[in-house]
Amino acid sequence: MQNAHTAQQFSQFKSALKAQFGSDVYSSYFERLALADANEDKLTLTTPTRYAATIISKRYARYMLQTWSESVSPVGSIDVRATQEMVQPSGLQREVRDRLKSYGDGKPAPVVEQAPLPEPVALSDDATVTPFARGMTFDRFCTNETNRLAFHAAMKLLDSPEPVVTMIHGPAGRGKTHLLNAVAQEWLSRHPEDKVLYLTYDALVTDVCEAFISKSLKEYRTFLQNTDVLLIDDVQMLRGRKRTQEELDCLIERLRVAGKRVLVAGALAPKELAETGISPRLANRLAGGLCVSVEKPDLDLRLKVARQLSDEASEISGVTPPTRHVELLARRCEESIRELEGAMSLLQVATEAEAQAGGQLSDDRVRLLITDHLQQKKGPPTPGVILDFVCERFGQSKEDLAGRSRKQPIVRARHAFCFATRKLTDTPLKAIGGFINRDHTTVMHSVNAAEILAGTDPVFGNHITEIFDEFPQPGATSEK
């Protein structure tokens, strides 16, 4: 039970939260907070929903802990729980629960697993930790004619008094993620009290699903709308995610009207996005802003990046690869900056190994290393290649998948092909259907069915994992 003094302290704490975060965030998350326990080691708070507890723990707990320590008394950690998680069962409840551990036929009752509870957040001396890649700054972003327009678009987003929704598009490995992280860190260096949110497609999908299932969509919308800078990466991966696309479209419009900054990165231009499963409304929203592309890196840019990477690695190890080797890699690695980064890491390790052995890396050895490195690289998968692999894994023929049979093994192979092709390529639904003699609505049904089966059927899920292990997924790793 709280005494009058404790109640007064908690009231002061909530008033401080309202002053710090504003009335909108306060009403969504903090107004229903209750104090469960407080001592010098840990502050325990409760909130009505599990989703709200998770969001508060992830995004606000550090600041709340600091606020309590400053306004009430020092405390070591904070723990935010849903109210129902704090209720202990009575003796009668425990007896009923124990009796229900088995059914009348002796079969064990099903066990419902809950998501892990958020861990208590401890106050740390390192209050400057950010979720952004520290190495991806503007200082380390090499520019020339191929990416200068994208660089200036990112800078304009930071400097313009009247920002517009900005989209940077281009194939993987050309620096889009680097620019998003650079914008985030530069903005926070100028406005340390502002809220900057960087979301990959999977984080956005997960958050929207959690909010929808827990009936906390209003709370999540309020949190997003209080963002000063919103950064969305790999937007093309949202294809087929209708609800998430709708939420993102509305969010972008609200932030635009409020004069907030929005930067989106994707593999395709807005027009192409609409042709591959992104809603026309969202694609038009992005097309209505500033859209710039990142071109394929030319030799000049690759040389700049290679020399920069070589200098940075040499400062750490004290071993510098010969200039001719660095330039050789820049000439051979033509596709992307990511490909060049991998080759430079290989060259640096090989140079260091030879130096430790008292020798030098020969030109022939470097050429062999580069050749092996480039041969290991798999190109983007095509629907035809994916179809061949699916038929092999499921033990079916192409004729089976294109036929009219409704046998379960054949139907599941069709589902797997449609799902994998949709996720791994930018092929339109109609074109995917052409490979198996189906229309686009049937393909969309197969994609949805495969998503369910992948999480409920272990055998089908293993086949899907094998497919995704075989082919590179666009946007699956961070970009330079």
Same domain, 416 and 270: no
- Which of 241, 253, 250 has its CA nearest to residue 205? 241
Q: Please write the tens of the pLDDT for every residue from 104-127.
A: 344 444 433 334 444 444 443 333
The last residue of one of the domains, among 87, 115, 148, is 87
Same domain, 286 and 335: no
Flag whether 124 is in a domain.
no
| The two structure tokens encoding residue 376 | 């290991």
How far the first Cα of the chain sits from its last, in Å, is 54
Residue type, 370: I
Say if CB 303 and CB 337 are below 8 A apart: no
Same domain, 15 and 49: yes
The last residue of one of the domains, among 376, 410, 442, is 376
| The two structure tokens encoding residue 248 | 């993102």
- What is the structure's pLDDT at 179? 95
- Residue 57: CB partners within 8 Å, gap ≥ 6? 80, 118, 119, 121
Same domain, 271 and 187: yes
- Residue 6: CB partners within 8 Å, gap ≥ 6? 35, 38
Flag whether 241 is in a domain.
yes
For tokens 């189906």, the residue is 438
Regions in the chain scoring below 50 on pLDDT: 1, 87-130, 474-480
| The two structure tokens encoding residue 246 | 């709708």
For tokens 């030098």, the residue is 360
Same domain, 358 and 393: no
Same domain, 179 and 264: yes
- Residue 189: CB partners within 8 Å, gap ≥ 6? none
Flag whether 174 is in a domain.
yes
- Residue 415: CB partners within 8 Å, gap ≥ 6? 446, 447, 449, 450, 453, 460
CB crowding 333-361: b at 16 or more within 10 Å, else e: bebbbbbbbbbbebbbebbbebbeeeeeb
The CATH number given to whatever domain includes residue 46 is 3.30.300.180
CA distances from 51 to 212, 246, 414, 442 (A): 10, 21, 36, 35
Same domain, 14 and 79: yes
Same domain, 68 and 5: yes
The CATH number given to whatever domain includes residue 412 is 1.10.1750.10
- What is the structure's pLDDT at 147? 94
Determine whether 6 is exposed, middle or buried from the number of CB atoms within 10 Å of its CB (0-12, 13-18, 19+).
Answer: middle
CA distances from 187 to 44, 156, 159, 294, 316 (A): 33, 12, 10, 22, 29
Flag whether 480 is in a domain.
no
Same domain, 250 and 353: no
Same domain, 155 and 267: yes
Strands (E), 166-238: 166-169, 196-200, 229-233
Spacing of C-alpha 254 from chain mean position: 22
Q: Return d(Cα 28, Cα 50) in angstroms, integer.
A: 14
- Total number of domains constituting the chain: 4
- Which of 208, 263, 219, 218 has its CA nearest to residue 241? 208
- What is the structure's pLDDT at 162? 87
Same domain, 324 and 353: yes
- What is the structure's pLDDT at 84? 56
- What is the structure's pLDDT at 265? 95
The last residue of one of the domains, among 319, 346, 376, is 376
Which strands form 121-122's sheet, in the order they lie side by side?
34-38, 42-47, 77-82, 121-122
Print the domain residue range for 337: 299-376
Same domain, 168 and 280: yes
